[in-house]
Amino acid sequence: MNAPLTAASPLLTLDVGLRALFAPRLAGDAGAGWAHAPGGRSKVSGMDDPTPSSNIADTIFRDLRRQILVGELAAGQRLPGERDLASTYKTNRNTLREAVRKLEQARLVTVRHGQGVTVSDFKKTGTMDLLSPLLEAGGSLHEVIHILEDILPAREQVLEFATRMAVRRADRSDIERLTGITDLLITAFETKDGALIGKGFHRWLEALIDTGHSTAIRWIANPFLDAYRDLLEKYPALWVLEGSFPTYLRETINALADGDEERAILASRKYYQRVDREFVGLLKSVIQPEAQPQP
Amino acid sequence: MNAPLTAASPLLTLDVGLRALFAPRLAGDAGAGWAHAPGGRSKVSGMDDPTPSSNIADTIFRDLRRQILVGELAAGQRLPGERDLASTYKTNRNTLREAVRKLEQARLVTVRHGQGVTVSDFKKTGTMDLLSPLLEAGGSLHEVIHILEDILPAREQVLEFATRMAVRRADRSDIERLTGITDLLITAFETKDGALIGKGFHRWLEALIDTGHSTAIRWIANPFLDAYRDLLEKYPALWVLEGSFPTYLRETINALADGDEERAILASRKYYQRVDREFVGLLKSVIQPEAQPQP
DNA sequence: ATGGCTGAGCTGGTTCAACCAGTATGGCTG
DNA sequence: CAGCCATACTGGTTGAACCAGCTCAGCCAT
């Protein structure tokens, strides 16, 4: 890659992460440092349930979804009949149908009475909801990298938009909340513990999005946050955190407090362009190792 | 509103559309002028099925979804048991469960074995998939307008991003396709037939998004296109088309052909800021008629 | 020979009646 | 009073039967 990194600010754990990304699941949890703050949420318990999903229908749903997302079941192809599928999965038709209903709702198949179930072309008709399951499905390396390359600029757009709205609509309590998380996060950054920082950054992003006070932003950002969280759980060591990470956080907070929209956008753009450039470069060097540059 | 409209370019059918938006469904179809082009699609038949949805489970799903989206079922609230719900809807438990599976997949409820079904806070945890059903559900006027005000800038961001990627990645065939649709559309614009223009514009947007050759863009844009199409079907006369519409189309195409990214973005930004400003102004004047400006 | 009807056999849609399995709760027991 | 446990909720699973839309082979009439 063209732009050399400052020796003092290497990409944190990136190559470890890349190796982990396509390797069996890693165990490990980096302590309870980022437990939920006692926010004003209702009795909604939060997303800290381990979700064992011993659910048969759900298991089948996930399996079929995976098969579709990695291309084992191609678009336009017809699924076996419900009776056949049920016996394949050693269950009954009712349970199997629940799985099919979920596939249908996820736009992965279309069901027509008398004609069977056909796989949809999810690349055409899907939505960002598929991002997390797609990364989780882990198709071919090439495929995943292509999708990621595609997603990264979109993510940057979303983040810029979220940042913009946050600057416009932040109130005092938003800024306090974000400042608090930022301080914790910068402290955590010193530990170089990828999983811990990852969780903290997730909270930071959530707070930033909340600060926009916009349902639209939340809805756009949620699939990205989901994908982030899922990947974080699977590959705690993955997170690409460039050396300027604390600077980015501070710049954003300061611009937020000053109401300086352009400065906040600039900080975001600068940071993510850096990170993404490195990330894409590394991804490409995984595909074509001969093109790998000298450090 | 501050900026007066040029007398020669009134908002096409806007107040008719606003009236229609909160009135019973209008009938009418503006001819087959926008039939699908014989594209290279596989056997996927397209989205021109009337979708009668006589499906019981789906009907229940839609009804419960509507109740949740308009707030009749509040977040955190528990649904009646499956046995009760089944008898309420005069059906059996299996069919009802299929509806609940869809609600679960749509993130509108969470189901926990032994504890029942609870309504989720979709404003926090939802995704853009909910946009179309939310508008369809038609909650309080105030609510819908608030959401729309929130969505419009997001839509503009998405369109700008789509435009940007289209300019970067357009090839000759993309430009030919878009030019063809543009010519048709501008001709159709003379007819002032809202439904016809609406359909044509939908095709134009699809072509623009295809031109980006990016799965990410498609996935982000799809919920917006869905909402657009659904509203178009329900309120054929709605579409807000400002007088500069043909100019916007031409500018975009020309910039695309020249590879001039900034010019394309500028055309998009200028046009949608105009349209959205008028739209929001009108929406607000519906809420507070006393604030309505003089023409 | 050709056109249209018809029924057999696919598909998903719906119903029923049981039973299995988590979760809360209140009353009983130590 | 503390702790257990029967019980009565909740959703999860099962299997069988039947209803309904669709396709197509094959028959019948033109």
**Mean pLDDT confidence for B170-196:** 92
Higher pLDDT, A243 or B89: B89
B93 CB below 7 A from strand D atoms: yes
Note the pLDDT of residue A7. 34
Of A90, A122, A154, the domain-final residue: A122
Residue A83 lies in a domain: yes
Q: What is the CATH number of the domain that holds B95?
A: 1.10.10.10
Judge whether B243 and B4 are in contact, CB under 8 Å. Answer: no
Chain B residue numbers with beta carbons less than 8 Å from the beta carbon of A223 are 127
Residue A45 lies in a domain: no
- Do A269 and A170 belong together in one domain? yes
State the Cα–Cα distance between residues B275 and A62, nearest whole angstrom: 43
Query: Which of the four pLDDT bands, split at 50, 70 and 90, describes residue B289?
Result: low
Contact state of A127 with B126 under an 8 Å Cβ cutoff: no
pLDDT at B31 exceeding the cut of 50: no
| % pLDDT > 70, chain B | 77
State the Cα–Cα distance between residues B220 and B223, nearest whole angstrom: 7
- Do A182 and A70 belong together in one domain? no
Higher pLDDT, B52 or B126: B126
Note the pLDDT of residue B117. 98
Residue B35, burial from CB neighbour count under 10 angstroms (0-12, 13-18, 19+) = exposed
**Mean pLDDT confidence for A273-287:** 82
State the Cα–Cα distance between residues A174 and A170, nearest whole angstrom: 6
Note the pLDDT of residue B52. 56
Judge whether B18 and A52 are in contact, CB under 8 Å. Answer: no
B73-121 pLDDT, tens digit each:
999 999 999 999 999 999 999 999 999 999 999 999 999 999 999 999 9
b/e map B69-101, b = 16+ CB within 10 Å: beeebebeeebeebeebbeebebeeebbbbbbb
Q: Which of residues 49-68 of A touch strand D (CB under 7 A)?
A: 54-57
Distance of CA B67 to the CA centre of its chain: 20
- Do A157 and A211 belong together in one domain? yes
Note the pLDDT of residue B290. 52
Domain around A144: 129-287
- Do A111 and A166 belong together in one domain? no
Note the pLDDT of residue A290. 53
**Mean pLDDT confidence for A167-194:** 93
pLDDT at B283 exceeding the cut of 90: no
- Do A67 and A141 belong together in one domain? no
State the Cα–Cα distance between residues A234 and A25, nearest whole angstrom: 6
State the Cα–Cα distance between residues B295 and B287, nearest whole angstrom: 18
Q: Phi then psi for B69, rounded to 5 degrees?
A: -70, -30
B155-174 pLDDT, tens digit each:
999 999 999 999 999 999 99
**Mean pLDDT confidence for A226-238:** 84
**Mean pLDDT confidence for B196-219:** 95
Note the pLDDT of residue A289. 58
Q: What is the mean pLDDT of chain A?
A: 82
Judge whether B207 and B178 are in contact, CB under 8 Å. Answer: yes
Judge whether A236 and A29 are in contact, CB under 8 Å. Answer: yes
State the Cα–Cα distance between residues B180 and B202, nearest whole angstrom: 14
Q: Phi then psi for A152, rounded to 5 degrees?
A: -55, -50
State the Cα–Cα distance between residues A292 and B8, nearest whole angstrom: 60
Q: What tokens does B73 get?
A: 């079922």
- Do B111 and B172 belong together in one domain? no
Q: Phi then psi for B78, rounded to 5 degrees?
A: -95, 135
Distance (Å) of CA B290 to CA A275, B20, B284, B287, B294: 51, 21, 10, 9, 11
Query: Which of the four pLDDT bands, split at 50, 70 and 90, describes residue A180?
Result: very high
**Mean pLDDT confidence for A269-289:** 82
State the Cα–Cα distance between residues A118 and A224, nearest whole angstrom: 28
State the Cα–Cα distance between residues B191 and B148, nearest whole angstrom: 28
A84 CB below 7 A from strand C atoms: yes
Query: Which of the four pLDDT bands, split at 50, 70 and 90, describes residue B234?
Result: confident
- Do B117 and B139 belong together in one domain? no
Note the pLDDT of residue B95. 97
Higher pLDDT, B35 or A287: A287
- Do B104 and B139 belong together in one domain? no
Distance (Å) of CA B154 to CA A208, B131, B160: 16, 12, 10
Of A122, A152, A177, the domain-final residue: A122
Shortest CA–C1' contact from B114: which nucleotide? D10
Residue holding tokens 């004047």? B285
| % pLDDT > 90, chain A | 62
DSSP, residue by residue, A100-144? HHHHHHTTSEEEETTTEEEE--HHHH--GGGHHHHHHH---HHHH
Chain A residue numbers with beta carbons less than 8 Å from the beta carbon of B108 are none
- Do A145 and A274 belong together in one domain? yes
Interface test with A, best of B69, B113, B219 (most A CBs within 10 A): B219
Distance of CA B10 to the CA centre of its chain: 23
Judge whether A122 and A68 are in contact, CB under 8 Å. Answer: yes
- Do B217 and B94 belong together in one domain? no
Q: What is the CATH number of the domain that holds A215?
A: 1.20.120.530
Residue B268 lies in a domain: yes
Note the pLDDT of residue B202. 95
Residue holding tokens 């399996």? A63
pLDDT at A283 exceeding the cut of 80: no
Q: What is the mean pLDDT of chain B?
A: 82
Judge whether A59 and A226 are in contact, CB under 8 Å. Answer: no
Note the pLDDT of residue A126. 95
Note the pLDDT of residue A66. 96
Query: Which of the four pLDDT bands, split at 50, 70 and 90, describes residue A195?
Result: confident
Residue A23 lies in a domain: no
Which ranges constitute the DSSP H helices of chain A?
14-21, 56-69, 82-88, 93-105, 122-125, 131-137, 141-169, 172-191, 194-211, 215-234, 245-258, 261-287
Lowest mean pLDDT among A122-131, A162-171, B138-147: B138-147
B57 CB below 7 A from strand C atoms: yes
- Do B217 and B240 belong together in one domain? yes
pLDDT at B267 exceeding the cut of 90: yes
Q: Which of residues 51-70 of B touch strand D (CB under 7 A)?
A: 54
**Mean pLDDT confidence for A100-127:** 96
Residue B51 lies in a domain: no
Q: Which amino acid is at B48?
A: D
Angle, CA B191 vertex, CA B187 and CA B193 arms, to 5°: 115
Strands (E), B72-222: 109-112, 116-119
Residue B213 lies in a domain: yes
Lowest mean pLDDT among B18-32, B131-145, B214-228: B18-32
Residue B180 lies in a domain: yes
**Mean pLDDT confidence for B267-273:** 94
A21-60 pLDDT, tens digit each:
444 333 333 333 444 433 333 333 333 344 456 799 999 9
Of B92, B122, B152, the domain-final residue: B122
Judge whether B169 and B212 are in contact, CB under 8 Å. Answer: yes
A53-88 pLDDT, tens digit each:
679 999 999 999 999 999 999 999 999 999 999 999
Q: Supply the pTM of this predicted model.
A: 0.83
State the Cα–Cα distance between residues B243 and B11, nearest whole angstrom: 7
State the Cα–Cα distance between residues B204 and A107, nearest whole angstrom: 23
Nucleotides of D under 7 A from a protein CB: 9-17, 20-23
Q: Phi then psi for B12, rounded to 5 degrees?
A: -70, 120
Total domains, chain A? 2
Among residues A131, A113, A21, A112, the alpha carbon closest in space to that of A65 is found at A131
Residue B47 lies in a domain: no
- Do B108 and B179 belong together in one domain? no
Chain B residue with Cα closest to A222: B127
pLDDT at A5 exceeding the cut of 80: no
Query: Which of the four pLDDT bands, split at 50, 70 and 90, describes residue A17?
Result: very low
Chain B residues within 8 angstroms (CB to CB) of chain A: 42-44, 57, 75-76, 94, 97-98, 101-102, 104-106, 118, 120-121, 123-131, 147, 150-151, 153-154, 157, 161, 165, 214-220, 222-223
Total residues found in chain B within this entry: 295
A79 CB below 7 A from strand C atoms: yes
Among residues B197, B280, B279, the alpha carbon closest in space to that of B246 is found at B197
